[in-house]
Amino acid sequence: MNGKSFSGFEEDVYFDSPKEIFQTTLTFKNDSVLVLKKLVRIIDKDTLNFKLKGSNYQYKGLVKREKTRIEFVAYPYKCKGCQHSIVMSKKDLWKKDLDNKTYRGFVTKNGLNLNGINFKPE
């Protein structure tokens, strides 16, 4: 999987709004993964026909792999055009916060199945 990217569509909570649809791209390099989530609007339930909504999130993490099983926790590190929740830190400072994303699943002959979502090679 080193150097390969996989793409899929997943629902996720966008702060307090109902679940939104994201086009998620996973790019693997050695034992690391870069996760890019782009907020999209799918037109007429056709995943080939969608529009970007402007917000995107980037996460990174370390991959644990055992034969065909794969698992990783991705931590946010970049966000463009999106909102953050604000939380109080241990030092009484306010900070922006995005949730970590956990992915678990397996390698298939057509890509990856993580959290019940199929990710296809790009």
Phi, psi for 31 (deg, rounded to 5): -100, 15
- Rounded to two decimals, what is the model's pTM? 0.79
Which pLDDT belongs to residue 77?
A: 78
CB 10 within 8 A of CB 59: no
Query: Does 74 score more than 60 pLDDT?
Result: yes
Residues 114/47/98/83 CA torsion (nearest 10 deg): 180
- In terms of Cβ atoms closer than 10 Å to its own Cβ (0-12, 13-18, 19+), residue 1 is middle
Confidence of residue 86 (pLDDT cuts 50, 70, 90): low
Residues composing the chain: 122
Percentage of the chain beyond pLDDT 90 is: 44
Confidence of residue 96 (pLDDT cuts 50, 70, 90): low
Query: Does 1 score more than 80 pLDDT?
Result: no
Confidence of residue 48 (pLDDT cuts 50, 70, 90): low
Provide the 3-class DSSP secondary structure of residue 18.
coil
Phi, psi for 70 (deg, rounded to 5): -145, 145
Distance CA 56, CA 82 (A): 7
Which pLDDT belongs to residue 71?
A: 97
Distance CA 101, CA 75 (A): 7
Mean pLDDT of the chain: 81
Distance CA 55, CA 102 (A): 20
Among 55-59, 64-68, 109-113, the range scoring the smallest mean pLDDT is: 55-59
